[in-house]
Chain A
Amino acid sequence: MGIPSKKLDCSGMMCPMPVVKTAKALKEMVIGEILEMISTDPGAMPDMKAWANQTKHELLAAEAEGGKFRFVIKKTH
């Protein structure tokens, strides 16, 4: 797995801001770059999976650790 070139902290934000901020952050990155996003919204786990399915960006990791959720996304297009 690659090393994130950008980190996005969405702690404290509720739906839909984690996906909105993630999409915005990816727009400013180049293809192949990796984004790490942290969220405290339990809804982010199903939502980020759905978001990745829809956008076809690659969800390299989606994990829960101590009340936080960590996502690693590779920009594919």
Chain B
Amino acid sequence: MTNGTNKLALIASKGTLDWAYPPFILATAAAAMGWQVGIFFTFYGLPLLKKDLSLTVSPLGNPAMPMKMPFGPAGFQNVNWPIPNVLMAGIPGFENVATSLMKKTFANKGVATIGELRDAAIEQDVRLIGCQMTMDVFGFDKEDFIEQAEIGGAATFLEFASDANVSLFI
């Protein structure tokens, strides 16, 4: 008997490479446990449903981001480089550097890519709801998104979430 009573309702509101992980990790883990899962992608989370995933991460405004190198000897990799946030965030191109460092580190550690997690979520029948209002405001077309994305609004999500055991805004 699968656990048909548990239900997870997530709102994914952030579309950077780092914040793309929590909704997809929780969704795929819950689905693996037999839960019914839905994610509402709104505002900056909506691009996570685009066919072309080109996610980036910036140290700007995030002084908690560890700055480590994904290559070299273990002792070197463990150094947390004390670069002031205002400096990192201000250097042109640093966003690209931070993005490639994070992707490399995640790959080294065996963390799945967002594309892989999203494919797993689709395979597990996770409901992926894109926010209609965000589409209109930011000028996206339905064709920009993967075919498994359904389009809806706040009421669509709330109806799904109304009997969810766990609801999280990410």
Quote the shortest CB–CB distance from B25 to chain A (angstroms): 5
Cα A57 to Cα B120 in complex, Å, equals: 21
A20 lies within 8 A of B3 (CB): no
Cα A23 to Cα B29 in complex, Å, equals: 9
Chain B, 23-70, CB within 8 A of any chain A CB: 25, 28-29, 31-35
B111 lies within 8 A of A22 (CB): no
Chain B residues near A40 (CB, 8 Å)? 110
A51 lies within 8 A of B32 (CB): yes
Q: Mark A1-28, 1 if CB is under 8 A from B, else 0.
A: 0000000000011111101101110000
Interface size class of A (residues with CB under 8 A): 20 to 34
Chain B residues near A51 (CB, 8 Å)? 32-33
Quote the shortest CB–CB distance from B9 to chain A (angstroms): 17
A54 lies within 8 A of B34 (CB): yes
Interface size class of B (residues with CB under 8 A): 20 to 34
Cα A22 to Cα B25 in complex, Å, equals: 15
Tell me whether A56 is interfacial, beta carbon within 8 Å: yes
Cα A12 to Cα B112 in complex, Å, equals: 10
Closest B residue to A17 by CB, please name it: B112
A15 lies within 8 A of B25 (CB): yes
Chain B residues near A22 (CB, 8 Å)? 32
Cα A12 to Cα B35 in complex, Å, equals: 26
B33 lies within 8 A of A55 (CB): yes
Tell me whether B134 is interfacial, beta carbon within 8 Å: no
A16, A41, A47, A77: the one within 8 Å of B28 (CB):
A16
Quote the shortest CB–CB distance from A47 to chain B (angstroms): 8
Nearest first, the 3 closest Cβ-Cβ pairs linking A and B are A23-B32, A16-B29, A54-B33
Chain B residues close to A by CB (< 8 Å): 1-3, 6, 25, 28-29, 31-35, 109-112, 117, 120, 123-124
Known: A15-B25, A16-B117, A23-B34. 11 other contacts (CB 8 A): A14-B109, A14-B110, A14-B112, A16-B25, A17-B112, A17-B120, A20-B32, A20-B120, A51-B33, A55-B2, A55-B33
